[in-house]
Structure 1
Amino acid sequence: VLAERQLTIFALDLLDARADAADFAVTCSKGTYVRSLARDIALALGTVGHVAALRRTRAGPFMLDAAISLDKLAALLQAGDEQVILPLTAGLDDIPALPVTPEDASALRQGRLLPGHPASHGLYLATDGPVPVALVDVSSAAIRVVRGFNMN
């Protein structure tokens, strides 16, 4: 059993209903377990249910309509077109930036802890100028690397 959590269902559309199945489109906040949502809908209707097929059409700024196949990506890269590859920061734009000095950036790249920082507790994208250094967790005790990036 999963613990309850706050989430938002922005839209829930019934696309098709049959005797033994229904198709829905849902727009929801991150962290929503769509399979649990389907189960809860079935329980509210006094029946049982499960997800037979699940397709994510959007995740943050990324949309399925803008995706390309791996074959097409390989062909574009073979032709020297690297513009189709989004920068690392495109997937991290919802994480607040934490500028660090070049010295601190070097320490973080080595996975070292940095003593306490005046930033609020939480997850940040440590940056050395425009260059992403690492995802870091800031606490009162230290800045700890969660995931480092090799972007020198």
Structure 2
Amino acid sequence: MSKPRKPKGRPISGWLILDKPVDFGSTEAVSKIKWLFNAQKAGHAGTLDPLASGMLPIALGDATKTVPYVMDGRKIYEFAVSWGEERSTDDLEGEVTAASDARPDEQSIRDLLPKYTGTISQIPPQFSAIKIAGERAYDLARDGETVDIPSREVEIFRMTLLGVTADKAHFEVECGKGTYVRALARDFGRDLGCYGHISELRRTFVAPFAEEKMVPLADLVALEEIEDRDERLAALDEFLIDTAEALSSLPHLPVTDDQAHRLKMGNPVILRGRDAPLAEAEAYATVRGKLIAIGEIGQGEFRPKRVFG
């Protein structure tokens, strides 16, 4: 019987909040970070199109277990809509599918914004990762197929007009999971009777990570000049954020060393005391600041669902 293959790379865990450059795909960015950090595992929370820049949270090691909690968080984008053309991809990459000489005035744009605030119905772009009969919409679109993508509800918490020029308007949007900013640009243009597409897009926030946590890719790549491997990796590790920071929206339960040992074995721990939480669908436990488990609280116990090394 063959021995299990030893994983390649270091068993490091944590979040890197990458400032992704334009013309760099999300998958490509994850691969680059995994290689730079010599990490065993890596994944990202929320894809950014190659033409978009900004915050791309990348999870290394055990932090990949917390990706769903970041995927569900609020996001903030700054974007520009160029008027006069609708495109097949709803951004600069696509072919022009409709055109108009009309241009909206500032007041018309402002009057439109309340329609795009709150819970709205949105049809994702033809070039999107939505699955249609088991296939990605963008694969069908590349094959020349026009697919009927059903509308879905998304949450827009805030839509702000930042500035207007003759052929373009700049916006900032705070939105929930699953919102396509490209679709907003498309629908703005249709409602204003002038057509439109995304010409600039930058993500500045993914809850719970603040904008100042972002690290430019160039800063990380520059560390390749450090010849000593251990010194180079230590310098890179300084940019990592603790895994538990992704769980700041959940209730926190500090535990003792003995309780932590039980949780690592997959066993529940009894919660005692007047201040012990009574019931929580999800919470996370730490020992001396280190993440041990995500689980549920009920009937006087914390029951682990995901355990961290």
**TM-score, with length taken from structure 2:** 0.36
Q: Which amino acid aligns with 2:172?
A: V
After superposition, give the CA deviation of every residue in 1:22-77 in whole Å (9 maximum; x if it has no partner).
45332404436143433443453357655466431222333278413231355575
Q: Name which structure has the greater RCO, CA cutoff 8 Å, separation 6+.
A: 2
Looking at CA atoms only, which structure, 1 or 2, has the larger radius of gyration? Answer: 2
What is the one-letter code of the residue matched to 2:240? Answer: I
Q: Are the structure 2 counterparts of residues 50 and 102 from structure 1 closer, same or farther at C-alpha, using a change threshold of 3 Å? A: farther
Q: What is the CA–CA distance in structure 2 between the aligned matches of 1:144 and 1:109, rounded to whole Å?
A: 8
Any residues of structure 2 matched to 1:1-150 within 5 Å, and which?
1=150, 3-9=152-158, 11-14=160-163, 18=167, 22=168, 24-31=170-177, 33-35=179-181, 36-46=183-193, 51=198, 54-60=201-207, 61-63=209-211, 66-69=214-217, 70-74=220-224, 78=232, 80-81=234-235, 82-110=237-265, 112=266, 114=268, 118-138=277-297, 143-146=303-306, 148-150=307-309
**AA in 2 matched with 1:130:** G
Q: Find the aligned partners of 2:177 and 2:250 in 1 and give their Cα distance.
A: 15
1:123 touches 1:136 (CA, 8 Å); kept in 2?
Answer: yes
How many residues are treated as equivalent by the alignment? Answer: 145
Unaligned runs of 5+ in 1: none
Determine which structure has the larger helix proportion and give its number. 2
What stretches of structure 2 of length at least 5 have no aligned partner? 1-149, 272-276
RMSD across aligned positions (CA): 3.9
